Amino acid sequence: MKTAPLPLEELLGPGSADKRLEVLRAIAQTGSISQAARSTGVSYKAGWQAVETLSNLAGVPLVEKLVGGAGGGGARLTAEGQQLLRAADLMRSAHKQVLARLHRGKAAWSAGTVAAVGLRTSLRNQLPCKVQAISVSRGRVRVSLALADGQLLGSRITRESLQLLGLRVGMPVLALCKATAVTVAPHIVAMGQVNVLKGVVARLAAGKVSQEVSVQLAPGLRLVGFADADAGLKSRQRAMAALEESAVVIGLAA
């Protein structure tokens, strides 16, 4: 049966510098998911996560298991998996050429600038920041992110996600979250694993039950959330925004 074309733009993104693709390439070279995971510096579980995520995006299996034989089985790429790697090579080459042209123009391109043209998502809040600290406890990872105004935002992710993203201190990333995950009020007391950010109300959209609020954290940096209709918020008023650390998604712009 003929398969549909792979959605390469969605799979590879703007830069195609993706640990998941490294795992896929290593599987092609070693014929083993476990060996591919070791050679790319991720756990076996993270290796499988990389394969499953890319296969879900492609809509077709990218890796197939081999059973039996002298080597006791293994894994190999399907035709679609091989096609994806060829496309990745072409896109990486084109990406380098575009970056070279941009750098020759002597302009400073931040993670946020690149994301503005390279990232499409339903998540309303996309905040450029830098990784300030990474802590691992009992298999769980907490990443501390520093916003442009110095405020900190915590994010809870898995160890596998940490490995596949290749996060390190000082790396520019994007903090993403749904507007519906953000609660805005005149004053909020921080509790447990909840981020609380301070800012000024920049925009209000009234509603019967709740109102959408845009909170300016710093010049050019806003966070959108919702407040109770009777919260009494007014434009230019100081306010706080709360969101759980588990609701903060970390993304790479390129």
Delineate the domains of the chain, giving CATH numbers in brackets.
8-104 (1.10.10.10), 122-176 (2.40.50.100), 177-243 (2.40.50.100)
Reported for 230-236, long-range contacts at CB under 8 A and 24+ positions apart, including other chains, are 231/184, 231/185, 231/186, 232/186, 233/184, 233/185, 233/186, 233/201, 233/204, 234/201, 234/204, 235/201, 235/202, 235/203, 235/204, 236/200, 236/201
Q: Which residues of 123-162 are buried (b: 16+ CB within 10 A; e: fewer)?
A: ebbbbbbebeeeeeeeeebebbbbbbeebebbbebeebbb
* Percent of the chain surpassing pLDDT 70: 81
Question: Between 211 and 66, where is the model more confident?
Answer: 211
Q: What is the pLDDT of residues 210-246, one digit of tens each?
A: 899 999 998 878 899 999 988 889 999 999 999 999 9
Q: What is the pLDDT of residues 6-29, one digit of tens each?
A: 555 445 544 445 888 999 999 999
Q: What is the pLDDT of residues 134-149, one digit of tens each?
A: 999 887 899 999 998 8
What mean pLDDT, rounded, does the chain reach? 84
Question: Between 233 and 103, where is the model more confident?
Answer: 233
pTM (2 decimals)?
A: 0.74
Averaged pLDDT, 55-61: 82
Has residue 111 got a pLDDT over 70? Answer: no
| Secondary structure string (H, E, C) spanning 61-105 | CCEEEECCCCCCCEEEECHHHHHHHHHHHHHHHHHHHHHHHHHHC
Closest CA to 155 of 141, 138, 166, 173: 141
* Percent of the chain surpassing pLDDT 90: 52
Has residue 160 got a pLDDT over 70? Answer: yes
pLDDT reported for residue 7: 53
